[in-house]
Structure 1
Amino acid sequence: MGITARGAGLLVAAVALLGVGFRFAYPELTVLGAAAGAALGHALLTAAWRPRLVVRRHADPDRVARGEPARMAVTVANTGRLRAANLVAEDRCGDRVVPVPLLRLRPGRDTRVGYDVPTGRRGVVPVGPLRVTRRDPLGLVSLTRPYGDTVPVWVYPRVHPLTAAPTGAGRSLDGRVDAVPQGSITFDSLREYVIGDELRRVHWRTSARVGELMVRENVDTSLPRIVVVLDNRAPAHPDLVDGVAESFEAACEAAASVVTAAVRADLPVVLLLVAPDATVLPTPADDRGPTGGGPLDLLAAADLDRGDGAAGLRTATARLRQERLGDTLVFLTGPGGRADLGLVGALRGGYRSVVVGVLGVGQPTAASATGPLLIEAADAARFAAEWDRIRRW
């Protein structure tokens, strides 16, 4: 609760009038001071009244690509039974303030306001909470309270269509078996039996030893697994335009394009960040698969890490070497990451194909005959064009 300049002046006048009136026995001044004090008391009581408001939000849609339209609908309902709400309210949408009219909102009624969400930049746009300001009729006291929760709108990077996809190292004489949920005939591990498992996959010897049914878990070795690594170190993207690293934005678009192409081809894909601690998701991602609530959410919330860039890359490459998360590695970095490409090239022993994309540079160079495939491009569109020209995985 805050007192306005008018209220502060009236408070000073009330104290002065009461002091002079009592000190020099002027009843007229005492009455004026008491009236001023009563006005302030009434203003405090009026502003302290908390209207019973319920705020509901709906984003249509809540996940969009950069530049696509998105709208936020805000519904404010007055659940009180006695008084109408005559308030001043505003909604926070990213860096903007959107006015929400709540003039004489009667009990049991609601009002609805819709506005466009800015999607010109990749990121997570927080919308809300609704801030309601309550003032007294004389404008002496003002009180602002938040209503409702903050709802994020995910703005994904642009996706550039890719026609080519890595073929992978594994081959199956019977063709791809990605429709089999438990994999093919390659043994991976044992797990407890659950209702619905086929009895022919029960490992009876182990089940007899542990005293409960154990089922063989197989993996599919015929499918290539793509690992996309986004270099989000600040030294890798040194050039800033209005506080934005355009090379990093291009790298995010390239990563989104590769992930989307892999999903459309029904290929397993993993997205990793060199510095994962630099990304904090405002809300848990829901289970929408790779094209929603997964890698694209991670790309929308990704930010540059200002820490020790060299140490972060060494840690990331060590993990990739030890865990071997797939057979095709796609590493996307900026102009400042060229000096560290030796660490990425050393991963060729664990990955059949290694593709390095350097975004934010001039004319692309041809891929070398030895070593990792190198794609240099000024933006993600040029990267997509050079990607489709690759004939050697």
Structure 2
Amino acid sequence: MKPTGRGLAVTGGGAVLIGAGFTFGYPELAVLGAVALLAAACALAYAAWRPRLSVTRTVEPDRVARGQPCTQTLVVHNGSRLVAATLIAQDRCGGATVAVPLIRLRPARDTTVSYPVPTARRGVVQVGPLSVTRRDPLGLLGARRTHGGTARVWVHPRSHPLAAVPAGIARSLDGRIDRVPHGNITFDALRQYVIGDELRRVHWRTTARIGELMVREYVDTSLPRLVVLLDDRAGAYPQPDDFEHACEAAASVLVAAVREDLAAELLLVGAASAPGTREHQAMGPAGARRVDVAPLLDRLAEAQLHPGDRLGAAIDRLRQYRLGDTLVYLTGSGSAEDLAPVGALHPRYPTIVAGVFGDPAAVPSTVEGVRVLAVPDAASFAAAWDGLERW
């Protein structure tokens, strides 16, 4: 509850008039001062009344690509059966406010207000809560309260169509190179026995031939085959818009992977958690795994530039976990100091593509183990991606 400038003047003037009236013997001044203080007291009682409002908030849709329409709908209901509500209301939408007309909201009635949610930029837009201000008719005092909850709108980066998607080189159980179903455990190689290995994995025929205990080593072919590493270091992008292009390129690759029913993983250089959670994978019909791209795009919407340099830690995680066989590195830094460590992941990741956004002239033409795509924006990245001769 906050007094207005008029309210402060009326209250202060009333006190002065009462004091002057009693001091100099002018009862008329004291009466005027008493009326002013009475008006202030009535304003306090009027503003202190808490309206019985219920707010229902609907956002449709709550996940959109950048530039697509999104509508916020508010239904405000006056729960009082006797008193009409005369209020000033504003709803918060991101960093802006939207006026909500609640003048003379009659008892047991509601009003519906719809307005567009801004989706011009990638990010997470929070809408709400509804801020309601109640002022007395004289404008002496105002009380602001919030009603209803909040909602969030994920504005995903725009994706560009990609025609070519690497299928990976996972080995099937019969030794052929193909795209095996997710969830299989596949024989990979033989290695020497170490303490702790299960004896049921010992390959006795090879052990008898060479005179050493040899055990079978298996790989889990359910691991994602396509890994997108998004560089979110603030120092890697001389122009902030280049990071937006990198996010659009990441979305394009992920959407194309889902279209081809390929598992994918999104990693951010600044992420503290270890990769491989795979919360974006769900079970489809007949127990088959399918990929849900929505959580990945949500992470892209939430991605922000961070200070510091954690690229080395991210590369170490990739080397340790080996999430797939195709790595897509998206950055704004084309320096050899950043690209060379990524190229060192080859042949652990047989296919490595680096998309560098910004000035192509500052990017080295060749980096060992990496196919470098130096492009100015996401649309050019999509064209260069489809222009690769083979994966």
TM-score for both structures, normalised by structure 2: 0.82
Q: Residue 170 of structure 1 contacts residue 224 of structure 1 at CA under 8 Å; is this kept in 2?
A: no
TM-superposed deviation, 1:320: 0.9
Matches within 5 A, 1:1-393: 1-172=1-172, 176-178=179-181, 183-186=183-186, 221=221, 225-239=225-239, 245-276=240-271, 290-292=292-294, 294-306=295-307, 308-309=308-309, 312-335=310-333, 339-362=337-360, 368=366, 370-393=368-391
| 1:318-366 deviation per Cα after TM superposition (whole angstroms, max 9, x unaligned) | 1111111111111100036553111111111321111111012347989
| 1:136-179 deviation per Cα after TM superposition (whole angstroms, max 9, x unaligned) | 0100001111112221111111100111111212133586453x
Which residue is 1:200 aligned to? none
Match for 1:297: what amino acid? D
Task: Tell me the distance in 2 between the aligned counterparts of 1:14 and 1:113.
Answer: 41
TM-superposed deviation, 1:26: 2.4
Task: Tell me the distance in 2 between the aligned counterparts of 1:220 and 1:255.
Answer: 25
Q: Residue 131 of structure 2 contacts residue 147 of structure 2 at CA under 8 Å; is this kept in 1?
A: yes
Q: Residue 334 of structure 1 contacts residue 359 of structure 1 at CA under 8 Å; is this kept in 2?
A: yes
Task: Tell me the distance in 2 between the aligned counterparts of 1:377 and 1:345.
Answer: 19
TM-superposed deviation, 1:128: 1.2
TM-score for both structures, normalised by structure 1: 0.82
Match for 1:68: what amino acid? Q
Q: Residue 131 of structure 2 contacts residue 145 of structure 2 at CA under 8 Å; is this kept in 1?
A: yes
Instruction: Check 1:110–1:227 CA distance in 2 against 1; reply closer, same or farther (3 A cut).
Output: same
Task: Tell me the distance in 2 between the aligned counterparts of 1:140 and 1:112.
Answer: 29
Which residue is 2:204 aligned to? none
Shifted more, 144-153 versus 263-272: the winner is 144-153
TM-superposed deviation, 1:185: 4.8
Aligned-residue Cα RMSD (Å) equals 2.8
Match for 1:97: what amino acid? T
TM-superposed deviation, 1:81: 2.5
Task: Tell me the distance in 2 between the aligned counterparts of 1:170 and 1:177.
Answer: 7
Match for 1:351: what amino acid? Y
Task: Tell me the distance in 1 between the aligned counterparts of 2:160 and 2:23.
Answer: 81
Structure 2 unaligned residues grouped into runs of 5+: 189-199, 201-217, 274-278, 283-289
TM-superposed deviation, 1:367: 7.2
Task: Tell me the distance in 1 between the aligned counterparts of 2:94 and 2:61.
Answer: 16
Instruction: Check 1:37–1:324 CA distance in 2 against 1; reply closer, same or farther (3 A cut).
Output: same
- What is the SS of the residue equivalent to 1:168? coil
- What is the SS of the residue equivalent to 2:344? helix
Q: Residue 338 of structure 1 contacts residue 358 of structure 1 at CA under 8 Å; is this kept in 2?
A: no
Which residue is 2:192 aligned to? none
Task: Tell me the distance in 2 between the aligned counterparts of 1:285 and 1:105.
Answer: 45
Structure 1 unaligned residues grouped into runs of 5+: 189-204, 206-217, 240-244, 279-283
Instruction: Check 1:263–1:350 CA distance in 2 against 1; reply closer, same or farther (3 A cut).
Output: same
Match for 1:221: what amino acid? T
TM-superposed deviation, 1:22: 2.1
- What is the SS of the residue equivalent to 1:347? coil
Match for 1:324: what amino acid? R
Instruction: Check 1:319–1:159 CA distance in 2 against 1; reply closer, same or farther (3 A cut).
Output: same
Which residue is 2:195 aligned to? none
- What is the SS of the residue equivalent to 2:261? coil
Task: Tell me the distance in 2 between the aligned counterparts of 1:170 and 1:22.
Answer: 97
Task: Tell me the distance in 2 between the aligned counterparts of 1:368 and 1:222.
Answer: 32
Task: Tell me the distance in 1 between the aligned counterparts of 2:3 and 2:222.
Answer: 71
Task: Tell me the distance in 1 between the aligned counterparts of 2:35 and 2:281.
Answer: 58
Instruction: Check 1:46–1:67 CA distance in 2 against 1; reply closer, same or farther (3 A cut).
Output: same
Larger radius of gyration: 2
* Number of residue equivalences: 348
Which residue is 1:212 aligned to? none
TM-superposed deviation, 1:82: 2.5
